[in-house]
Amino acid sequence: MSSPVDDRSARHSVLATARRTAALLNVLADDGAGPFDVADVLRAHGERDPLDLTATDLPELRTAAGLLRAVFTADDADGAAAVLNRLLRDHTGPLRLTSHGGDSPWHPHLDSDDDAPWAEWLLASSCMALAVLVWDRQRPPGRACASPSCGNVFISPGSGPERRYCSRRCATRERVAAHRRRGAVPRP
């Protein structure tokens, strides 16, 4: 049975998966975030209810997010590829296709099962998407925000100069702070 082509397939694209990864890493970096916050991010990126996330899932999800963050802090494509190769070797299974019993378009998975634990799913789906972006772009798939007060990660645009900040807000805040530092005259 083939599923109709609609916007459901967009949530399984490489770029959509990579953006979901960045959003999950950012929410999981907040120690105050709970299962509802993580579920909200998943829903915002096309996952459907019921999402059976509980507080007991969070420690392993945070560990997975910490491992994936190293991809975003790599200096270059070689560094990002080295991190991804280690994660793929240590935390994923063989490539398989799934349609989740016909509920979605066919798409690849590297986790052990459609009902794999959340942390395993996060690592596997993220590694696959980030690896494809390194392959396609020949540079790290994203960065950590250069603002010392931020720490969020983001997916880099496909072309053009690399971004340093996760948002215009962070870029403006840092630009204003640098301007103020340059304009400050030391007092005798």
Stretches where the chain sits below pLDDT 70 are 1-12, 184-188
Question: Which H, E and C letters describe the chain, residue by residue?
Answer: CCCCCCHHHHHHCHHHHHHHHHHHHHHHCCCCCCHHHHHHHHHHCCCCCCCCCCHHHHHHHHHHHHHHHHHHCCCCHHHHHHHHHHHHHHHCCCCEEECCCCCCCCEEECCCCCCCCHHHHHHHHHHHHHHHHHHHHCCCCEEECCCCCCCCEEECCCCCCCCCCCCHHHHHHHHHHHHHHHHCCCCC
**pTM, rounded to two decimals:** 0.86
pLDDT digits (tens, 9 = 90+) for 5-47: 345 556 668 999 999 999 999 999 999 999 999 999 999 998 8
